[in-house]
Amino acid sequence: MSVLKCVGLSRSFGALAAVSEVDLAVGAGARHALIGPNGAGKSTLFKLVTGTMKAHAGSVELAGRDVTGLSEAKRCRLGMSQTLQHASLFASMTAAETVALAAQRHGGGRISLVPRKQPAVAERAAELLADVGLDGREHVAVASLSHGERKQLEVALALACRPTVLLLDEPAAGMSPAERARLVELLAGLPAEITVLFVEHDLDLVFALADSVTVLHLGKVLLSGTPAEVRASDAVREAYLGAGRREELFLA
Amino acid sequence: MEHPSISRRRLLALFGAAASVPVLAACGSSVGGGGGGAPAGGGGGGAVKVGLVVPQSGVYAALGTDMQRGWELWLGQNGGKFGNYTVETVVADEGETPNTGQPAVQKVLQSDNVDVVVGLVNSATALGVANLLTESKKLLVVTNAGAGDVTGAKRTPYIWRTSFTNAQVSAAMGTHLAQSGFKDGVFALAPDYAAGTEVIAGFTKTFEAGGGKVVGTAKPAFGKTSDYQPFLTQIQQSGAKATFCFFSGSEAITFVRQYAQFGLASTIPLYGSGFLTEGNVLPQQGDAALGVQTTLHYSDQLDNPANKAFVESYTAKYGESPSCFSAQTYDAANVLNRALRTATALDGDSIAGALGGIGTVEDSPRGPWTFDGQTPKQNLYLRKVEKVNGTLVNAVVQDLGQQSQPL
Amino acid sequence: MTAIEAPTVPGGAPASAPRVTRARTGIIAVAVLVVLAAAPFMLAPFATTTLTRVLVFALFAVSLDLLVGVTGLPSLGHAAYLGAGAYAAGWVSINVTAEAPVPLLVGAGFGALAAALTGWVTVRSHGVFFLMLTLAIGETLQQLADTWETVTGGANGLTGIPAVRLAGTPLANAGFTYWYVLAVGVIGFALVVMVARSPFGAALRGIRDNEPRMRALGYSTARYKYAVIVMAGAVAGLAGALLVAQQRLVTPADMGFATASFALLAVIIGGAGSLWGACLGAALVIIIRDALGPSLDGHGTLVLGIVFVLVVYLLPRGAAGLRIYRRRR
Amino acid sequence: MLVSVLNGFSVGFLLFVLAVGLSIVFGMMDVLNLAHGALFLCGAYLGATFAGGWGGFLGALGLAAVFGLVGGGLLSLMTEPLRKRSHLDQALLTLGVALVAAEVLAIVFGDDPLSVAAPPGLNDSVQVFGVSYPTYRLVIIGVGAVLALAVYLVVERTRLGALVRATVADREMVSVLGVDNRLVKAAVFAIGSVLATTAGVLGGPIYGARPGLDATVLILALVVVVIGGLGSVRGALIGALIIGQVDIVGKYLLPDLSSFILFAALALVLVLRPQGLFGGPVGTAGAR
């Protein structure tokens, strides 16, 4: 049973049909990658799924429930969490405070109007920061974190929302090889019940992590299948050949 | 790394402290005794301290200047003494609204410890400071604020007035228009605020009592209207034979000029309360004001010996002829002088008592008048704007007789 | 009054300010409170009244800072809620009772009501567009006060408001009124500090820094903004009730554009987001306007304008109050 | 009734000349210029000082253009250091400048309200729809229409116009194309300010010149921009003409409610279309 299902999803900007009639189904626990040459509509599709952008047609289902009309906030509360391509965080806060802000929203308790220590929230924040490799940097102001560290913080932030579906928009963009390796390790280590859908350019990462792939081209789904099928498909090579370098696709 | 905001905050604290020192330095205690400080020296002789609270900034600044001149002229002519008290005047800026007016009155009462407060243009300030005066048992002589409540519904023994009430001025015009052929149709308009409503009510009451019919009314937004065409067109289409209106300051200028521009001046004569063409608005209105008739308790063209002397000495000293605001404050000094001749002490009750007994003020530039309910019962004059050797004046056409404050 | 606002980590590691700064702020706060409480003994009545006006304006500026500094919502119409509270407190004091808690509760209630009735228009907007909408709302409510003569007394204002009565005895002189305003003001200030340092306050700061990100974390930000607008309206209404207790008069000018812009100036001078900074800013504004103004023959606003321009330049981190002040490695 | 509709146009066009400068500067650089009203008042005082003959009137217009350019350039320069900071800082800066400008004008020109005579030949009235109507206001309709056309053509047809529209759409992209958008911003600020001071001179014979007029006019311009939508010339024009009609005809039909007509119209638009009739979702929850 697919935990995330898009049916006939489309969105256009004036004459340009950025995304047209995309069907997408992601099984529970899947590690699904969304790839395609530049301008294929990956980011637009991502925004339609997360609700940042309103779809012109089609529907999005989360665990069987139609969320097309719901706001980002409601979708998040229903278990869909996201990281943004350009890390966008809270300039006046520290790493710990940022994650705590998300954790307190999904800690089950009410957001209180009175100052009070929230030990459970604090613990969870520290634990998540350690998971993403930011232990020891809890009290650093976000402004003085490195780019890689900010991307790691984004992941911790998304996980703090106790997601069932985790949506990552180019999580590895701008990361150093070491940070990239750590990210792969982290995503691979995620509990099985969390489904991951991620948009990514770095095909090494895609084929290292994904157990299913959808290739987008000019706003349409070119092919959905296992990494092997995608690597073998001429149509995909055609799409990339026209757009990218040959040797990148044929990695050993 | 020293964070910039810390140094900025230290700078801020320093600046704040430096600014506050001069203000709060005045020592003394504000916990002892009820209300303001103890009354200053009493009995005959000695000095009387007067707080002259008039606008020195904002829209009413010109009125404030006229008032201060009227006050200083009277003191100059009478050796600066009330009875045998030498007068010490402390001037404070009333500003435009009670936000500045009330603190000014508080300052003269509480920190300058004056015996009498004189002045106030804004009615809201006059009404707003009533409790200050009653609690400190000090006298206030209002030299302009025309709200009826000051000496009517909200009268207090400590507030007397030497100016007018809004309704008093317009009531005289109501009677006059009813008797002079405009019975079957007058259009009445005034800005949408307290004074405007009072003026129209005063006018309508006496106009309808005289058998007149108001064929239309309008309430332009106060302080925000600069285009009166919609109301002027309404006047033309209401079939009114004459228009009665009340505007002051920049609105009086704009209304009278547009009244002429839209051609109503030649077809429907314009009548108004005196402030429509009083003081510095008249020269700005120019020829558009010619022929406009208003009622007011004063005009610098009044033909009586007291006014002749007053206008002559005022123009000689200040190069401008006096307005009703100057005359009202000139009279305030006059009545205080009469009161302090007989008052036993300088506290509010004794001066108020003495004021009640001064009888007719026969040497006033506006003509003889008496206090009736702590505000003047005085002659209202019909005035018409004419050009006398090049300058526009409010020529006196007719004396409409004595009029007290309509309650 | 001057507990330095150090936002506690919402349940995160122990408060960011190390133990010693927390004690230091405690001492400063107590010291200032003692000095303020003793003021009437040392000051002449007029100076005490000026200080009372400073306290009223400070509470109003703090309520505005909850919007501008903590939530990043710059309002130029907040004086409308001060006015709503003042008129309500004044009306109830004249027609019902002037007994202590009643005018305060009615004032805060009507401030909140006015904010609730008008706030929903602005929650969809943010930044400078929010500024414009609140300016329009402020002007509309002031016009209402100017013309609804039967209740508000119109342009003449609501006058003859009886002095506040505490357990039956009216507060007659400047000293008692001052203490009353100080006491209620401190409570109001503490309430705002409490909200600012609560988990709810942390969410507000998140909205200030990055509202879209907060939506992505599951916060329906419009509802939070609406809630904080109503809360700030209530505290502004409370300040309105104190205004009535102090000057026993309310006029449309009290809720006009000038009051709203001076309050915004006070918040910006104090460093938006630092609640006690807003109090210092308020003191500066009132002293320049009321005490030094007359000596500049009524052109106090010129000095305020210049200070405003300087402060906007001097601010290291902008009026949105992005406070990055932890000096960590 | 017809004369009210006609007068509605004259007020509408004057409002357009006043509001379009505010709308473009705000639409383009997201700088809400709260000193716009002070620029108008400066123009009005120039008109008042030089009122009298045609020489005076044209001289005032010339001076207004100079003051507008200087004022606009100065404001653009002053907001430059704040470029990296939030738009709120720039709006607050202009609020400070507005306070200072209003006081300086009060010190220089005094507190008395001044009336401004229309230039000779336009100072009388003419019969329109059987009622006499001041000729000056007819001229205002003409001048306003010409200015509207001119601004529309400059923005829609010229290279500078294209640059302005491009910067409104995406300022970073324009700077990538090698255009120093500081110059474009200064140019637009200057044009907006010249429009404001010119509107002041043109409005003189109708509105006169008095302290406090800057706040009244700023509110009017904001209402036009909010209703007409931000950053669009078409929005400012339609918004201004609508406000002109609503304000004038409204006061003619409901004279006793005239204080509320303008605000009622504003509230209606805010409820139905928060981003204004023609504005894109600039300020509201739209993607920025």
Q: What is the pLDDT of residues D211-249, one digit of tens each?
A: 888 888 888 888 888 888 777 788 888 889 988 998 888
Question: Which listed CATH number (1.10.287.110, 3.40.50.2300, 3.40.190.290, 1.10.10.10) goes with B167-296+380-403?
Answer: 3.40.50.2300
CB contact under 8 A, B284 and D134: no
The answer to whether the beta carbons of residues D210 and D113 sit under 8 Å apart is yes
ipTM attached to this prediction: 0.82
Domain boundary among A109, A129, A162: A162
Number of domains chain A contains: 2
Residue of chain C nearest B36, judged by CA positions:
C45
- Residue D276 confidence (pLDDT): 64
DSSP structural state of residue B146:
-
Q: Is B362 helix (H, G, I), strand (E, B) or coil?
A: coil
Q: How far is CA C135 from CA C264, D239, D263, in A?
A: 12, 18, 12
Note whether D4 contacts B230, CB cutoff 8 Å. yes
Residue D285 confidence (pLDDT):
31
Q: Are C85 and C238 contacting, i.e. CB atoms less than 8 angstroms apart?
A: yes
CATH number for domain B8-164+303-374, candidates 3.40.50.2300, 3.30.450.20, 3.30.499.10, 3.90.1150.10: 3.40.50.2300
Q: Quick one: pLDDT band at residue D101, thresholds 50, 70, 90?
A: very high
Phi and psi at residue C75, to the nearest 5°: -110, 135
Position A126, amino acid: A
- Please tell me which of the candidates B59, B216, B230 has its beta carbon nearest to residue D251: B230
Predicted pLDDT of residue B110: 86
Q: At what angle do helices D87-109 and D213-228 cross, to 10 degrees?
A: 150
pLDDT of B7 reads 47
Burial of A5-18, coded b for 16+ CB within 10 Å and e otherwise, reads bbbebbbeeeeebb
CA distance readout (Å), B196 to B240, B241, C80: 20, 21, 24
Whether C147 has its CB under 8 Å from any CB of chain D: the answer is yes
pLDDT at A86: 75
Residue B99: band (very low, low, confident or very high) from pLDDT cuts 50, 70, 90: confident
Interchain pair B284, D258: CB under 8 A: no
Do both A72 and A11 map to the same domain? yes
Q: What is the enclosing helix (H) or strand (E) of B384?
A: strand B376-388
- Count the neighbouring beta carbons within 10 Å of the beta carbon of residue D68: 26
State in Å, rounded, how far the first CA of chain D is from the last one.
45
> How far is residue B135's CA from residue D181's CA, in Å, rounded to a whole number?
64
Domain spanning D2-272, CATH class: mainly alpha
The runs of H, that is alpha helices, within C148-220 are 149-152, 174-196, 199-216
Residues A153 and A168 both lie in one domain: no
- Render pLDDT for C140-181 as a digit per residue (tens, 0 to 9): 888 888 888 888 888 888 888 888 888 888 887 888 889 999
Q: Is the pLDDT at C325 greater than 60, yes or no? A: no
Q: What pLDDT was estimated at residue B89?
A: 94
Confidence of residue B255 (pLDDT cuts 50, 70, 90): very high
Q: Report d(CA B65, CA D211) in Å as an integer.
A: 17
Would you place residue C47 in the very low, low, confident or very high pLDDT band (cuts 50, 70, 90)?
confident
C262 is written with which tokens?
Answer: 């001076």
pLDDT(C317) > 70: no
C318 touches chain D (CB under 8 A): yes
What chain B residue is nearest to D251 in terms of C-alpha separation?
A: B230
Nearest CA in chain A to C16: A139
The verdict on a CB contact (< 8 Å) between C172 and B135 is yes
pLDDT of residue C196: 92
pLDDT grade for B256, boundaries at 50, 70 and 90: very high
Strand B81-82 relative to strand B85-93: parallel, antiparallel, unpaired?
antiparallel
Picking from B284, B278, B317, B329, the residue whose alpha carbon sits closest to that of residue B300 is B278
Nearest partner of D218 among D43, D41, D73, D55, judged by Cα: D41
- Residue ranges of the domains in chain C? 44-256
Mean pLDDT of chain B: 86
Position D277 confidence tier, pLDDT thresholds 50, 70, 90 = low
pLDDT reported for residue C16 = 45
Percent share of chain B, pLDDT over 70: 89
For an interface test with C, the pick among A75, A83, A111, A149 (most C C-beta atoms closer than 10 Å) comes out as A111
pLDDT exceeds cutoff 90 at C305: no
pLDDT of A124 higher than 80 = yes
Model confidence pLDDT, tens digit, residues C179-190: 999 999 999 999
Question: Cβ–Cβ of C128/D259 closer than 8 Å?
Answer: no
Residue C144 has a pLDDT of 86
Is B31–C40 a contact, with Cβ atoms under 8 angstroms apart? yes
Instruction: Looking at the structure, tell me whether residues A20 and A53 fall in a common domain.
Output: yes
Would you state the pLDDT for residue B180? 87
| DSSP for B285-305, written as a single string | HGGGGTT-EEEES--TT--SH
| pLDDT-based confidence at residue D187 (cuts at 50, 70, 90) | confident
pLDDT of D56-94, one tens digit each? 888 888 999 999 999 999 998 888 888 777 777 888 889
To test the contact with chain C by mutation, choose from B1, B24, B27, B30 the residue with the greatest count of C C-beta atoms within 10 A, namely B30
Distance from C-alpha of B97 to C-alpha of B122, rounded to nearest angstrom: 7
Structural domain harbouring A137: 86-162
Instruction: Return the pLDDT at C181.
Output: 93
Nearest by CB to residue C319, choosing from D30, D92, D263, is D92
Element (H, E) at B123: helix B123-128
Residue A190 contacts by C-beta under 8 Å, 6 or more apart in sequence? A166, A196
Tens-digit pLDDT profile for residues B177-188: 999 888 888 999
Decide if pLDDT at C7 tops 50. no
A97 shares its domain with A141: yes
Strands A212-217 and A31-35: what pairing?
A: parallel
- Percent of chain B having pLDDT more than 90? 53
What average pLDDT does the segment C248-274 reach? 86
Has residue C316 got a pLDDT over 80? no
What was the pLDDT predicted at C139? Answer: 86
DSSP string, B195-263: HHHHHHHHHHHHHHHTT--EEEEE-PPTTT----HHHHHHHHHTT-SEEEE---HHHHHHHHHHHHHTT
Spatial distance between the Cα atoms of B323 and B275, rounded to a whole number of angstroms: 10
The HSE-up count of residue B84 (CA atoms within 13 Å, CB side) is: 6
> Of the candidates B15, B104, B111, which has its C-beta nearest C44's C-beta?
B111
- Which site among C16, C46, C177, C297 would you substitute to test the B interface, given the most B Cβ atoms closer than 10 Å to its Cβ? C46
Q: Write out chain D residues lying below 8 Å of B279, CB-based.
A: none
- For residue D217, what are the contacts with CB-CB under 8 A and spacing of at least 6? D18, D36, D37, D40, D41, D203, D207
Residue B173 makes CB contacts below 8 A (sequence gap 6+) with: B203, B207, B244, B271, B272, B273, B294, B295, B382
A103 Cβ neighbours under 8 A, 6+ residues apart: A121, A124, A125, A128, A160, C11
10 Å Cβ neighbour count for B262? 23
On the question of pLDDT at D29 being above 90, the answer is: no
Give the count of beta carbons closer than 10 Å to the beta carbon of residue D157: 10
pLDDT value for B273? 93
Neighbours of D233 (CB within 10 A): 24
Q: Region D272-276: what's the mean pLDDT?
A: 69
Task: In whole angstroms, give the CA distance from residue C138 to residue C64.
Answer: 14
* Boundary of a domain, candidates A114, A136, A162: A162
Residue whose entry in the numeric block shows the structure tokens 């509709």: D5
pLDDT at C130: 84
The most confident of the ranges A98-112, A183-197, D34-48, D125-139 is D34-48
One domain, residues A75 and A17 = yes
- Strand B139-142 vs strand B159-161: parallel, antiparallel, or unpaired? parallel
D136 has pLDDT over 50: yes
Amino acid C146 reads D
CA B104 to each of CA B20, B65, B111, B274, D171: distance values in angstroms, whole numbers, following the listed order = 18, 16, 10, 28, 51
Average pLDDT, rounded, for chain D: 83
**Residue C269 is encoded by which pair of tokens?**
């001078």
**Residue whose structure tokens are 């107590």:** C30
Question: Which residues of chain A neighbour C205 with C-beta distances below 8 Å?
Answer: 90, 92-93
Res C13 pLDDT > 90: no
B–A contact: 3+ Cβ pairs < 8 A: no
The predicted model gives B258-280 an average pLDDT of 90
Q: A73 and A121 in one domain?
A: no
A84: nearest CA in chain C? C213
Residues C326, B121: Cα–Cα separation, whole Å: 54
d(CA A190, CA A162): 12
What whole-number distance in Å separates Cα of residue A224 and Cα of residue A36?
11
| pLDDT reported for residue B227 | 87
User: Dmax over Cα atoms in chain B, in whole Å?
Assistant: 87
**Chain C residues with beta carbon closer than 8 angstroms to that of B20:** 283, 287
* Whole-number CA gyration radius for chain C: 19
Of D114, D206, D252, the CB nearest to B226: D206
Q: Are A37 and A70 found together in one domain?
A: yes
Q: What is the tens place of the pLDDT at every residue in B104-128? A: 898 899 888 999 999 999 998 999 8
Q: pTM here?
A: 0.85
Q: Measure in Å the smallest separation between the Cα of D233 and chain C Cα atoms.
A: 18
* Percent of chain D residues past pLDDT 70, beyond the cut: 94
pLDDT at C60 over 90: yes
Q: pLDDT digit string (tens) for B23-66?
A: 444 456 666 544 444 444 444 568 899 999 999 887 888 899 99
C55 has pLDDT over 80: yes
Which chain A residues are within 8 Å of C213, Cβ to Cβ? 84, 88-90
Pick B131 or B117 by higher pLDDT.
Answer: B117
Our CA-based measurement puts residue A112 at a distance from the nearest CA of chain C, in whole angstroms, of 6
Residues of A in contact with C200 (CB under 8 A): 111-113
Cβ-defined contact of B218 to D258 (cutoff 8 Å): yes
**Out of A48-62, D25-39, D168-182, which region has the weakest mean confidence (pLDDT)?**
D168-182
Where b means 16+ CB within 10 Å and e means fewer, A191-226 reads eeebbbbbbbbbbebbbebbebbbbbbbbbbbbbee
Residue B298: the pLDDT is 92
SS3 (DSSP) at D121: coil
The answer to whether residues D41 and D213 touch, using CB atoms and an 8 Å cutoff, is yes
Q: Is the pLDDT of residue A224 over 90?
A: no
Specify the range with the lowest mean pLDDT, choosing from A26-35, C238-247, C311-320.
Answer: C311-320
Cβ neighbours for C229, distance < 8 A, ≥ 6 positions apart? C67, C73, C115, C119, C122, C123
* Higher-pLDDT residue of C69, B10: C69
Percent of chain C clearing pLDDT 70 (strictly above): 87
State the pLDDT at residue B315. Answer: 94
